[in-house]
Amino acid sequence: MKQMYASTVVQLEDVPVVHARGGQMRVLASPATIGATQLIMGHVLLQAGEEIKEHLHDYGEETVFVVRGQGTAFIEDIPHSIRENCLFIARKGERHRVVNEGPGDMELVFATAPLAPRPEIGHREV
C-alpha cells in the first residue's frame, strides 16, 4: 500500500480499510488524502447482515448513495427502505445507521459536508 499524501487523485485500493464503524469503510476525500477543505467522502462495503453503527454529525449533514444492494436506513429510529440507485440524507444532528438486509453485498458512497473544523465534532458514535 502506498503512503497517503494530499493529492488530486486517489485510488480506492490505496486507501486503508476502516472496520471500526461497521463494514469495510474507506475515506477517499479528506484533508489527509486529497487536502479536502469542505467535505469528507468515501466508500463502504457491507456484507449481508452487516451494518454501519449508529452515529450523528454535530457539524454537517451526510448523504449516502446506494450503488448496489438493499437494506434499511434508520434515521432518528425511523426505518427507510433503501436499494440500488437510491440516495438518503441525514441532516445535522440526526442519529442514523444502515443495515444490509439483502442476500448479497451492499455498496455505498457517502459524503459529509461541511467539513467540521475539528475531527472530534465531525462524527460521533451514539
Domains of the chain, with CATH numbers? Answer: 12-125 (2.60.120.10)
Residue 4 has pLDDT above 70, yes or no: no
Q: Cis peptide leading into 114, omega within 30 of 0?
A: yes
User: For 80-108, what is each residue's pLDDT tens digit?
Assistant: 999 999 999 999 999 999 999 989 999 99
pTM attached to this predicted model: 0.91
Q: What percent of the chain has pLDDT over 90?
A: 76
User: For 47-75, what is each residue's pLDDT tens digit?
Assistant: 999 999 999 999 999 999 999 999 999 99
